[in-house]
Structure 1
């Protein structure tokens, strides 16, 4: 076997091992990425936010592609509920779309998407088990997990469908059942959500940077931007070895032109409009989840 073949094999083994570490430790040991759609920028250019003057604007699908930025955005916009909650079904559907995005970036990043799928599967399985054993369905004091309890009506409370209907209902039920362990690793929904939550921050930061305008006439490479976003987020939760392995993985990050094709745009200006809208939707979901986890002391679950 030649030197190049040995090096390629070593990189593959390292990435597979890294994936197994992330699987054992969760998205605690994780790194993620970003997006794709149709040339809908003309529909977006009149609105700088998530919603236009007449409400959310509809994006068309991008023909011939598995990942659809239009679906991602629709799931993200459907996730916020009430004054501070996040519905789990559209939240997890958002991750389904992001998994397709990561798979589009190639086999190296695709290894990481498998880990995310395992995390979303854990929460979905817990939801199924809770439906089969509804012994701790939401009680009349479910509002105790909401800081805006006084603003919620009985009608709003009755609209909850089950224990894993939303982020806050999941937190309340798992605390009530003693499922959450604050001292050792478990497969609780709350711990699993925290790992996804940390990965979502990396994604948000990366997309923000990818949407930036040129600095001194130069657009920085996606590899450089993703590394910077990683160092500001997930690196804080990773071991030295995982951080070094992640740095190696950044070498395989596609060039910027790949991301143009991925979201079906023609220029950096169009990419910025598209990604800014997605980032704003992610930020709303992220901030609500962050608040719910923080209020219940869950930002450092092992």
Structure 2
């Protein structure tokens, strides 16, 4: 076997390892995609909502002929925060659907990471569907509520997976979370997504920065590697870290990212990416507080 052939085999092996161990956990045979239980009512209305949320900011554009739409990502992110400290689960997962499309658009070597992320969102969706079916069975056995206020409360507020905090409460009350060993819980899965979201937040923030005076813009590959090393890499084994860094070498150059978010210059990209990063930070910080309050930032 030649040197080049052995190198190809090594790369394939590393990528397979990356796909199986990403986000600090093996795949749990959750490949059957659940039906997406969060639907945007109307794409046009979503665009209007996003464009009207920031004053004196140019409207975002819909990019023709591509799956990833920054308009949809921002709409889901802005839909997720609720009350003063919670995050709705459906738009949160829908925002991950768009981020998965974003990663897939960066090519097969980077896109393989999205497979593990998608498996995590599927786990939470399956748990939510299971809990919803159990709640429906319980409601059929319960006496019919005559008070419409109580009925609304039961349907919208007591469902265990309606928001991040309600999911945490539900799983703790039903003994689904173990602080000493691995369990396939929504809280543990959320923590893995939470860590990955910090990485993407940092990467998009760096990607949106203008170059310092007298310096040139840094490559997306270098930015992705550095932001990974200071965030998600802390939760990965040495092998996974090296596999990830290998995948980042195949990261497209900046003009491709401009195309993804429908802009032509770095200045325009900075405006769009800063809006996305701001929305991600709002969601991330709320989830960070919720997980920290329940001692869940180090779930095995």
Q: Same fold (TM over 0.5)?
A: yes
Q: Gaps spanning 5+ residues in structure 2: where? A: 28-46, 139-149
Q: Could you tell me which residue of structure 1 aligns to residue 176 of structure 2?
A: 179
Q: Where do 1:102-251 residues align within 5 Å?
A: 102-134=103-135, 159-160=156-157, 162-215=159-212, 216-251=214-249
**Structure 2 residue 293 is the aligned partner of structure 1 residue 290:** no
CA distance in 2, matches of 1:131, 1:118: 20
Moved over 4 A (4+): 154-158
Larger RCO (alpha carbons 8 Å, 6+ apart): 1
Query: Could you list the per-position Cα deviations for residues 11-64 of structure 1 after superposition, in whole angstroms to 9, with x for gaps in the alignment?
Result: 02211122112377169xxxxxxxxxxxxxxx9xxx9x993249x986342111
Structure 1 contact 75–90 (Cα < 8 Å) conserved: yes
Query: Could you list the per-position Cα deviations for residues 218-269 of structure 1 after superposition, in whole angstroms to 9, with x for gaps in the alignment?
Result: 1111111111111111111112222222222221111112111111211100
CA distance in 1, matches of 2:117, 2:17: 16
CA distance in 1, matches of 2:65, 2:100: 17
Q: Could you tell me which residue of structure 2 aligns to residue 252 of structure 1?
A: 250
- Could you say if the C-alpha distance between residues 251 and 130 of structure 1 is closer, same or farther in structure 2, counting changes exceeding 3 Å? same
Q: Could you tell me which residue of structure 2 aligns to residue 14 of structure 1?
A: 14
CA distance in 1, matches of 2:26, 2:286: 21
What's the TM-score, normalizing by structure 2? 0.82
CA distance in 2, matches of 1:57, 1:120: 32
CA drift at 1:199? 0.2
Q: Could you tell me which residue of structure 2 aligns to residue 273 of structure 1?
A: 271
Aligned length in residues: 267
CA distance in 2, matches of 1:155, 1:220: 56
Aligned residues: CA RMSD: 2.8
